[in-house]
């Protein structure tokens, strides 16, 4: 085959693939020799930059030359490697640049050759490389695809254990008569590598056994960049370290006696977080009053990546002390256990209640988007409802699933999340009954436009208690609605059935729907308009009967801990005793 054209990569691949799409120039006339219509005509015209009116023939000529260079790069990027582009100047006043374009044939890929700088990889690995090619003879010769195929070859080599794999120069040889280009890739394989030991810093408090449980690799395995990436991700997920990285040793002092592959250790560089972390917070609503929260976290209590978390909540309606001991990865990565104890003292319009609760659960994190739990809880409580006091003991099983496809835990702007729980419970003491409590919630986030400045958010929350009358259910196991985390515009627990003294009684069925239109400015401030609606029924299944709706506006101020929320809401279905306005101040989005 006679070679009429020969280009190095820099003249076609690099220049053509880096073309910037600019606005159509209104001051450049274009004549097409061959038919270039549809998308390709738009490609040519969109490549021509806008120019200010030329002040001289020399400036107009320079504009024509610049426009021609942009058009040539645009055509090259689409596989037209031999265009004929002539430029001229109109005789108008002021003069305008003029292009005469013949794009020529669109080139296809001919032969594809893989060459190696240095020792080639093993025969079976060379075969795997050829199988991994993402281009083939006869494909359109699109430079971006040719470069992507090269990157894929290097990635495949590394996944086969060649840790130092890289690309060298590539040759592109063109044939004008056949409208074909041959592609020659030059690859640097380097030695094939196997993992050695994981080297942990000597002064690390966290136990070596726990670090080993996080490692998704074993000594003797072929090097895998995915395994090393996963190891780094798992180290970050522990929340134990300020900085943590796992990297392969640069050199090797030994080889595998059977395969001849190099063996390189994985070296950890770690800076641990302080063992103790404290935090305080505050909230306020006209319905629930003031609330203060204090948290203390003790990391690595047993040097096994565990957390002892203590949280104290002091509010006008509720006082709680929660102590939680988390042991993540207790039974392997993503398989952890949680032990919990809580003490509470609640005083609301619906009930007065004091309780002590202990529980244990198994938490399974299957992947970043899906997790599930199963556990058991024992509780002893004393409550007063409608002037009737009773002592109860509860034994519950707990099961739950969680999906999270949102882009942020604290302030999501796209995606969705959902969770569901089922809690069968046996009640002893002054009352004897059994029931199953079901609860599910889902929320979705839709950004408008290419940025996340405008977001539409929605939430639905459904609940049901099966197997017992409302009066037999413990007070906290009933469903209530109203308040800052529920139906804004109404007082805490104010939505739903009431007794003869106009106190909330709760119910067995819950329906809540919320919608927000969120806007965030260029700084830290944002605004929200929202509508909440919900109902609580004595029936088992959630219903839309007696929906109570509230509307409002809010302000958000972004912080690293999540947005500070200030909401003002008004009830649309106001009853006697409902205030005309409710105010809520807290941290984090409403959902």
The alpha-helical segments, DSSP class H, found in 19-134 are 38-47, 57-77, 123-132
Q: Give the burial class of 152: count Cβ atoms within 10 A of its Cβ; 0-12 exposed, 13-18 middle, 19 or more buried.
A: middle
Nearest to 23 by CA among 65, 62, 67, 72: 67
pLDDT at 140 (0 to 100): 93
Q: Which structure tokens are listed for 232?
A: 């780094």
Contact (Cβ atoms closer than 8 angstroms) between residue 238 and residue 210: no
Residue range 52-75, pLDDT digits in tens: 887 888 888 888 888 889 989 989
Distances (CA, A) of 284 to 41, 293, 315, 527, 586: 61, 12, 9, 19, 7
Residues 6+ apart with CB under 8 A from 376: 359, 360, 361, 395, 396, 397, 398
The C-alpha atoms of residue 558 and residue 564 are separated, in whole angstroms, by 6
5-8, strands of its sheet edge to edge: 5-8, 166-175, 180-188, 108-116
Residue range 136-166, pLDDT digits in tens: 999 999 999 999 999 999 999 999 999 999 9
Q: How many CB atoms lie within 10 A of CB 436?
A: 15
pTM beyond 0.95: no
pLDDT at 6 (0 to 100): 41
Q: Which domains does the chain have, with CATH numbers?
A: 5-102 (3.10.20.310), 108-188 (3.10.20.310), 193-272 (3.10.20.310), 276-587 (2.40.160.50)
In the DSSP assignment, the letter for residue 258 is T
pLDDT at 263 (0 to 100): 95
For 171, the 3-state DSSP assignment is strand
In the DSSP assignment, the letter for residue 239 is S
Asked if the model's pLDDT at residue 547 lies above 60, the reply is: yes
pLDDT at 416 (0 to 100): 97
Contact (Cβ atoms closer than 8 angstroms) between residue 485 and residue 550: no
Residue range 262-316, pLDDT digits in tens: 999 999 999 999 999 998 888 887 767 788 999 999 999 999 999 999 999 998 8
């Amino acid at each position: 085959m006679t070679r009429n054209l020969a280009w190095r990569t820099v003249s076609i691949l690099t220049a053509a693939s880096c073309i910037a799409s600019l606005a159509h120039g209104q001051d450049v006339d274009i004549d097409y020799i061959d038919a270039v219509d549809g998308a390709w005509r738009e490609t040519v015209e969109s490549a021509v930059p806008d120019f200010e009116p030329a002040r001289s023939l020399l400036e107009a000529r320079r504009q024509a030359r610049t426009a021609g260079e942009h058009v040539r790069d645009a055509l090259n990027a689409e596989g037209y490697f031999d265009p004929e582009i002539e430029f001229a100047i109109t005789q108008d006043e002021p003069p305008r640049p003029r292009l005469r374009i013949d794009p020529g044939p669109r080139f296809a890929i001919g032969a594809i050759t893989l060459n190696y700088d240095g020792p080639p990889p093993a025969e079976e690995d060379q075969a795997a490389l050829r199988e991994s090619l993402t281009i083939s003879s006869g494909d359109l010769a699109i430079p971006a695809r040719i470069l992507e195929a090269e990157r894929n070859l290097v990635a495949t080599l590394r996944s086969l254990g060649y840790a130092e794999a890289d690309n060298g120069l590539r040759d592109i040889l063109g044939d004008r008569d056949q409208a074909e280009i041959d592609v020659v890739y030059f690859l640097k394989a380097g030695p094939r590598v196997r993992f050695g030991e994981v080297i942990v810093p000597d002064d690390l408090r966290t136990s070596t056994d726990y670090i080993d449980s996080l490692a998704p690799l074993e000594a003797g395995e072929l090097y895998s960049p995915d395994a090393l990436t996963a190891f780094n991700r798992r180290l970050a997920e522990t929340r134990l370290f300020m900085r943590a990285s796992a990297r392969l040793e640069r050199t090797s002092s030994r080889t595998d006696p059977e395969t001849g592959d190099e063996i390189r250790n994985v070296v950890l560089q770690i800076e641990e977080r302080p063992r103790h972390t404290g935090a305080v917070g505050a909230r306020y609503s006209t319905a629930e009053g003031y609330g203060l929260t204090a948290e203390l976290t003790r990391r690595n209590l047993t040097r096994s990546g565990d957390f002892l978390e203590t949280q104290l909540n002091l509010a006008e309606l509720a006082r709680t002390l929660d102590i939680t001991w988390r042991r993540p990865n207790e039974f392997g990565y993503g398989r952890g256990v949680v032990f919990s104890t809580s003490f509470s003292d609640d005083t609301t319009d619906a009930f007065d209640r004091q309780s002590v609760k202990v529980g244990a659960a198994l938490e399974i994190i299957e992947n970043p988007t899906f997790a599930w739990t199963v556990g058991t809880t024992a509780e002893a409580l004393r409550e007063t409802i409608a002037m009737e006091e009773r002592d109860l003991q509860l034994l519950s099983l707990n099961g739950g699933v969680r999906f999270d496809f949102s882009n942020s835990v604290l302030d999501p702007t796209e995606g969705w999340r959902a969770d569901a729980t089922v809690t069968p419970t046996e009640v002893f003491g002054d009352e004897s009954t059994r029931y199953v409590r079901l609860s599910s919630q889902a929320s979705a986030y839709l950004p408008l436009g290419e940025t996340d400045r405008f977001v539409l958010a929605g939430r639905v929350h459904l609940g049901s208690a099966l197997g017992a009358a409302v009066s037999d259910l413990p007070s906290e196991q009933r469903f209530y609605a109203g308040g800052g985390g529920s139906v804004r515009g109404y007082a805490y627990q104010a939505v739903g059935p009431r007794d003869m003294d106009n106190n909330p009684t709760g119910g067995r069925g819950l329906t809540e729907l919320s919608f927000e239109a969120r806007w965030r400015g260029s700084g830290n401030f944002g605004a929200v308009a929202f509508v909440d609606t919900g109902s609580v029924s004595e029936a088992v299944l959630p219903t839309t009967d007696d929906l109570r709706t509230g509307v409002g506006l809010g302000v958000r101020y972004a912080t690293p801990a999540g947005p500070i929320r200030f909401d003002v809401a008004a009830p649309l279905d106001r009853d006697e005793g409902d205030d005309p306005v409710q105010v809520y101040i807290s941290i984090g989005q409403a959902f």
